[in-house]
Amino acid sequence: MRQIFLDTETTGLYADQGDRVIEIGCIEMVDRRYTEGADGQGGRFHHYVNPQRSSHPDALRVHGITDEFLADKPLFADIAADLLAFVQGAELIIHNAAFDLGFLDAELARLGLPPLRQHVARVTDSLLMAREMFPGKSNSLDALCKRLEVDNSGRDLHGALLDAGLLAEVYIRLTRGQDALVVESHDEAGVRLDLPSVDLSRFQLPVLAPAAEELTAHDRLLADLDKACGGKAVWRPQAVA
């Protein structure tokens, strides 16, 4: 399974009001492991983009990417084909996906290209995942890093590639490091292991009957619970008339 963790930085908050993408960062995993890129630093896509407009002061305080720095960077049109080739057919994982997709789709629309969802297998919003797992709590990327013990000490300012990397680590912890209840089929070096197939139906599990004192203690506990809820317990068997 090929997954790409994606983040963007922008000139402001409103793609429908002309704000533009200024940075795109993507990090690739295959079978939940980082891939190796030609640079030896892993499969990634990272570009700064000249937005042809200035960043809002509030946005500049968040990402710190100045107009002067972006002046000689490529336009989105110059890197669009490479971006689409990199994400083609993958699962995109984005924190607050509606925001990033809104900006990227606006950029693609300016070039007469279909929305990003039409180029990938699916989009997973890690913010929605976190809200289901931690309802009522802050689920920003920083909050999740702290809760899930992901080191974000180097994140003084937001950066698309940095945040994509943090998101990858957060996602692995959100999903408990596995996508099925099976024994790991690879060793720590990523080499596939040949695990023997076992027919579990031939095993018979022993059934241990409770002792008399255990049954008495259980009945006493149920009686206490029944009393605490005013005789409305539904877990006790009802007498048959």
pLDDT in tens, 92-131: 999 999 999 999 999 999 999 999 999 999 999 999 999 9
* Angstrom distance (rounded) from CA 103 to CA 109: 10
CA distance 22 to 51: 6
pLDDT at 222: 83
- What pLDDT does 188 receive? 46
Q: How far is CA 232 from the centre of its chain?
A: 42
Determine the pLDDT at residue 137: 94
Given this model, what pLDDT does residue 235 score?
64
Q: Which of 136, 148, 191 is nearest to 172 (CA)?
A: 148
CA 114 centroid distance within chain: 24
Kindly calculate the radius of gyration of the chain based on its CA atoms and give it in whole angstroms.
Answer: 26
Half-sphere exposure of 90 (CA within 13 A, CB side): 22
Residues contacting residue 149 through CB under 8 Å, at least 6 positions apart = 173
Give the model's confidence band at 181: pLDDT under 50 very low, under 70 low, under 90 confident, else very high. Answer: very low
Q: 46, 56, 158, 186: which one is catalytic?
A: 158
Higher per-residue confidence, 239 vs 155: 155
Distance of alpha carbon 233 from alpha carbon 229, whole angstroms: 7
Active-site annotation holds for 158: yes
Q: Under CATH, which number does the domain 2-174 receive? A: 3.30.420.10
How confident is the model over 76-96, as a mean pLDDT? 97
Phi, psi of 108 (to 5 degrees): -65, -40
* The two three-digit tokens of residue 139, written as one number: 């689920």
In the prediction, which pLDDT does 117 show? 97
Share of the chain above pLDDT 90, in %: 66
Cβ atoms of residues 48 and 65 within 8 Å: yes
Listed by start position, the domains of the chain span: 2-174
Mean pLDDT of all residues in 154-181: 80
